[in-house]
Chains A and B, each alone.
Chain A
Amino acid sequence: MGGGINPPLTPIRDFPSLFVNLRRVTTTPVQTGLPPKPRAAVVRDALGVGTAVGLSGFAFGVTSAGAGLTVAQTCVLSLLVFTGASQFALVGALGTGGNPLAAAAGALLLGVRNAFYGLRLSQLLGLSGVVRPFAAQWVIDETSAVALAQPDRRLARLGFTVTGVSLYAGWNITTFLGALGAAALGDPAAWGLDAAGPAVFLALLLPMLRARSSSPPAASPAGPAGDGGPVGVIGGHGRPDDPAGPRGEAEPDGDERPRDDAAPPQAAPPSSPGTPSGRTSLVRREEAAVAVLAVALALASVPFVPAGVPVLVAVLAAPAVLAVSRLRAGRSPEGGR
């Protein structure tokens, strides 16, 4: 669900998937030339991801109940929406008295990345028209990460299915338990539960802003946009973490880098010629600019528009930054990305 708890491939992460440690699976190259892998290893990886993320459903259940949703509403969200980041966003907006339609729009914006996972997965899994509508519900950060890490279609299908089943079951069971537990706690504010949502989003966001050592300058088939998009990230270098990714602990760390054999050295990648020379950027400039502008737009609009709408205003930061960046790229041929 990363995503959202749809994780990164931002599956916001969908799911709090975000929360899973994908290190083992993500270190496996996604593209061709992957070493053969025993089915048991695939199942083990998939179950590990599925159960770890599934447990994060507890955090969602508590947050949702704390925001004032009933246990039934909370459980329906996890059953039907099944993408973590969107779920957290929706209950957060509803909890602060936001307009329900604006809240839904904000949640949907976070779910868009799943379309890009689906794009990759449909080629990889080769689903028939009959299976597709059922498989679609499981297209989230974590399942995509596992499936795309497999060397062939058979194992990709296995990984996708096992991750999907374990995550769906775990996420929904723990959502239910979390919602029940929160109800027993009483006033959510007294327990600080209103801080859970922002913390979840922060855990999702920071990995998206951090420059990756594994960003492949020239190797990315994704082209100019490759370093940002979920598909580009997955296809380019076998790191199925999307921008919204299942992160938290899944981000690249020292253990992983040396094994990412296609990875260039960490310092200023050639793909960012616009970066002032000698500057090693720790954050991705476009992404950071979007985040800063979005915060400014959101907070500035709070006094003037109904609750829930500031998020939609803030999302304009994405096309705005992209437009500026394209303009600048057009002006200096070597400066664009």
Chain B
Amino acid sequence: MVWAAILITAAGCYAVKLLGLSVPAAVLERPLVRKLAALVPIAALAALIALQTFADGRALVVDARAAGLAAAAVALLLRAPFLVIVAVAVVVTAAVRALTG
């Protein structure tokens, strides 16, 4: 099933790319379509952040991941490079986990 998800994602993402290159501009350049296309990734990203930080199966928990995310937010506001932001999140999460056992 993991392979199925991978192949569906690959086919779908490629199709979307090709679609953009192939369709007449008027179809995608309608303001409503474009606005929605801008907002959908925002909704998805925000949801993914919350879920991957606070969800544990079907329960909501606050654990070391929350500390890592907070540290990443600080790094982001300080304009740290992308890889540094990710590294900070990982290191802080690991440290909190080690300290709290």
Chain A interface residues (CB < 8 Å from chain B): 10, 12, 16, 18-21, 55-56, 58-59, 69, 73, 76-77, 80-83, 85-87, 89-90, 92-94, 96-97, 100-101, 103-104, 106-119, 121-123, 127, 132-133, 135-137, 139-140, 189-206, 208-209, 222-226, 228-232, 242-244, 247-249, 251, 253, 286-287, 290-295, 297-299, 302-303, 307, 310-311, 313-319, 321-322
Contact = CB atoms under 8 A, between A and B. Distances in A.
Given A111-B16, A302-B55, A318-B43, A203 B6 contact: no
A179 to B, nearest CB: 14
Interface of B: 1-10, 12-14, 16-23, 25, 28-29, 31-32, 34-55, 57-60, 64-65, 68-69, 72-73, 76, 79, 81-83, 85-86, 88-95, 97
Identify which of B5, B38, B43, B68 gathers the most chain A CB atoms within 10 Å of its CB.
B38
B26 to A, nearest CB: 10
B9 A115 contact: no
A222 B31 CA distance: 7
A246 to B, nearest CB: 9
Identify which of B31, B34, B48 gathers the most chain A CB atoms within 10 Å of its CB.
B48
Given A108-B12, A223-B31, A201 B49 contact: yes
Identify which of B17, B36, B40, B92 gathers the most chain A CB atoms within 10 Å of its CB.
B17
B32 to A, nearest CB: 7
Contacts of B1: 100
Give the top 5 A-B pairs by smallest Cβ distance, nearest first. Answer: A118-B20, A19-B82, A248-B82, A192-B93, A192-B94
Given A100-B4, A199-B69, A229-B38, A118 B13 contact: no
B75 to A, nearest CB: 8
Given A89-B48, A136-B21, 19 more contacts: A19-B83, A80-B7, A90-B5, A100-B2, A108-B8, A108-B9, A113-B37, A119-B29, A136-B18, A137-B17, A139-B17, A195-B64, A198-B65, A199-B72, A199-B86, A206-B76, A248-B76, A249-B81, A302-B59
Contacts, number: 352
B12 A110 contact: no
Contact of A203 (B46, B57, B85): B85
8 contacts: A116-B28, A118-B19, A133-B18, A191-B90, A203-B72, A230-B37, A232-B34, A294-B43
